[in-house]
Amino acid sequence: MRIVASIALAITVAMAPVASGQTLAPVESMTCAQMSAEMMTAGQLMKSQFDPNYVSDMQRGANDIRQQRDAAAAAAPGMTASSLACSAGVVAACVANSAKGRELDATAAANAPRNQAYAERGLSGALNATRGLDMARMQALGTRFEAQRCQMPGG
């Protein structure tokens, strides 16, 4: 309980300058406790701004893309065999290979807008979650935190 109270106090102290419009302490002069408090506060802000459906949406997108890739890979052995036959001069194999290639290209083209939407949704979700944070400062905090070998409370 003492740790929780200490963290709450540190968060309050760390966020007081933000709330009052004052400047934050330079990262280079911060203690491990101050850096930890500021990063935890930033994490809480990100969590509050994070779309609760984001993870399931991204998982669904990854599964769809994996299925598309697997379907294309399943077609590849036939394409390879017919390509070899085509290079040996078997006309039927050339025609089949060409048709299969056009089919795969059409499938990829049909899936492209959906895959692009998944990518944009991923970027948008990440940007929304970090809205209001100084990401350069967060990076500097993380770098200094590691360099100082700081430990997260309870860790």
Q: pLDDT, tens digit, for every residue of 82-137?
A: 555 566 556 665 666 666 667 767 777 777 787 787 777 777 877 888 888 999 99
Q: What are phi and psi of 90, to 5 degrees?
A: -85, 110
Quick one: pLDDT at residue 3? 44
Above pLDDT 90, what percent of the chain? 23
Contact 131, 49 (CB under 8 A): yes
The region of weakest confidence among 1-5, 65-69, 93-97 is: 1-5
Distance CA(155)–CA(148), nearest Å, equals 15
Ramachandran category for residue 132: left, alpha or beta (phi over 0 → left; psi -120 to 50 → alpha): left
Quick one: pLDDT at residue 78? 55
**DSSP tag of 12:** H
Contact 86, 26 (CB under 8 A): no
